[in-house]
Structure 1
């Protein structure tokens, strides 16, 4: 999810009718790197998120399909978490990584702006690749990484033990609130234990640690290493659901490594289409998407590859632009997820179906029999002209 909006002029082909094949489509400059992958691509324009109050960002509402704004807690779980519950169990059900300016990722290595496991239950994004590497591969590392991993493990176990013991003198209501904290510590320690037990499986997928981890020159060094770690988690089977927040779901973000000196909110006040600054950012995003596809294509799975059974969703956390009303929310889908989705297509919708309908479509193909995602009948009466999945994208 790229912040500051996704201008439809950046992705809508200029020579394709409202609904048609991408075979002879002329892709806009910002996504032209996807030309060799058009048979795997489906560009969808005309969904909306007017009910999410997107403005600067819909925050949790972008993946939840409900009202979201700065400081507003999630009112329900988000689509990525829901998928992690449905898909076969993995060591780490859901991994969320966030990319930002280097100073932001350093001072705040985790933030929670996009994903949630329920009302008021946020899921953090990892932004420091050293921390994420240690979590995933610390148990199979050596030297300083291994020493730090062991020290952290001992500390976390001690903190959990102390936290549990301190709960004994609390009242019933206080214990309930406090148990959320102790359960969280228990979950972290259990995860670390599971990863240690799977060390032989993980070893073959661990990326090489290089200078970019400890001594990044630009924020894009950490962006790239975070992506490598996310891909490695998918390839190793550590997780089946990866959420990438470029700008970490807020108005921020920096790409000095691309020669872009403008940062954060100012980027949202620039036109995107035809803007050389946004050309660089979006083209960088496309290189990331291509890397994910190529890496997953290298892993055999069933009678094909891992990419054959994957769906990649590329969009923004605040619809088409900064200061948006959410009336148009462009989306690009890559991969058909085992033949469940149509590809090689451009689809123009009429603006009357919400992003919730896309999430309903994804859940439907994953085997969940639902007609709506996070939308009551009353809300749907105002914001959804139909029910169920979007027929134009389902195979």
Structure 2
């Protein structure tokens, strides 16, 4: 809960706003209170469980999707308040062997990706990948539903989702399945599936994204130029 001085500050700010802005402020504050409640619930659940000897932060939800959603909600609030304009978030470290019991996968993720062409392990890997994308879609939905200027936070953002490995079984770094979501303030045309020549560096895409963000550099890592046809309505 907010402390008394904070409540007074909010009341003073609110009194000088018009109805639309007061409603926007109320929605923002309610989102903060919702996150506080969820963290408190996670802390209470942790307190009743046998904790490992190693130290870990308190308030981490036990379920993957609950933890990811909480982190994504914090990202949206940070964007909404313009506290930051850049976020890097990993669903899991690349060597993670987490299991996903909530979707019926009890084997470790990393073990499944080294499938040796076993159809059952491939199916489990696909199920985990689908779950990750569905979790990512939660963030996109939150950004889309959050007003920002004449559009939404999603309209004014560009979000890159993907992995640096296309086939975990062979550690293949070619033909990466990459999602680029958001309008970048009208600079990027969405709703397309695009393929680029083999050996096109991923840094070419990052170079293009930097350009759309107003950060213009000639080269990034092993980049060979910006990707073509990313914009163009």
Calculate the TM-score normalised by the size of structure 1.
Answer: 0.42
Mapping of 1:103-182 within 5 angstroms? 140=2
Please give the alpha-carbon distance, in whole angstroms, between the structure 2 residues aligned to 1:242 and 1:328: 25
User: How far 1:370 moved relative to its partner?
Assistant: 2.2
- Structure 2 counterpart SS, 1:347: coil
Please give the alpha-carbon distance, in whole angstroms, between the structure 1 residues aligned to 2:159 and 2:202: 15
Is 1:297 matched with 2:144? yes
Is 1:393 matched with 2:230? yes
- Structure 1 counterpart SS, 2:179: strand
- Structure 2 counterpart SS, 1:333: strand
Mapping of 1:1-395 within 5 angstroms? 140=2, 203-206=29-32, 207-210=35-38, 211-215=41-45, 216-270=61-115, 275-375=122-222, 387-395=224-232
What's the C-alpha RMSD, in Å, of the aligned pairs? 3.1
Relative to structure 1, the CA distance from residue 256 to residue 220 in structure 2 (aligned partners, 3 Å threshold; closer, same or farther) is farther
- Structure 2 counterpart SS, 1:209: helix
Please give the alpha-carbon distance, in whole angstroms, between the structure 2 residues aligned to 1:287 and 1:369: 33
- Structure 1 counterpart SS, 2:155: helix
Relative to structure 1, the CA distance from residue 352 to residue 309 in structure 2 (aligned partners, 3 Å threshold; closer, same or farther) is same
Please give the alpha-carbon distance, in whole angstroms, between the structure 2 residues aligned to 1:388 and 1:361: 8
Please give the alpha-carbon distance, in whole angstroms, between the structure 2 residues aligned to 1:322 and 1:236: 42
Paired residues of 1:370 and 1:388 also in contact (CA < 8 A) = no
Please give the alpha-carbon distance, in whole angstroms, between the structure 2 residues aligned to 1:326 and 1:296: 30
Equivalent residue number for residue 55 of structure 2: none
Point out which structure has higher relative CO (alpha carbons under 8 A, 6+ apart). 1
Paired residues of 2:165 and 2:174 also in contact (CA < 8 A) = no
Equivalent residue number for residue 21 of structure 1: none
Relative to structure 1, the CA distance from residue 204 to residue 290 in structure 2 (aligned partners, 3 Å threshold; closer, same or farther) is same
Structure 1's unaligned 5+ residue stretches are 1-137, 143-199, 376-383
More strand by share: 1
Please give the alpha-carbon distance, in whole angstroms, between the structure 2 residues aligned to 1:288 and 1:273: 24
Relative to structure 1, the CA distance from residue 219 to residue 353 in structure 2 (aligned partners, 3 Å threshold; closer, same or farther) is closer
User: How far 1:390 moved relative to its partner?
Assistant: 0.5
Relative to structure 1, the CA distance from residue 365 to residue 341 in structure 2 (aligned partners, 3 Å threshold; closer, same or farther) is same
User: How far 1:244 moved relative to its partner?
Assistant: 1.8
Please give the alpha-carbon distance, in whole angstroms, between the structure 2 residues aligned to 1:141 and 1:253: 39
User: How far 1:254 moved relative to its partner?
Assistant: 3.0
Equivalent residue number for residue 88 of structure 1: none
Please give the alpha-carbon distance, in whole angstroms, between the structure 1 residues aligned to 2:109 and 2:227: 34
Please give the alpha-carbon distance, in whole angstroms, between the structure 1 residues aligned to 2:82 and 2:148: 11
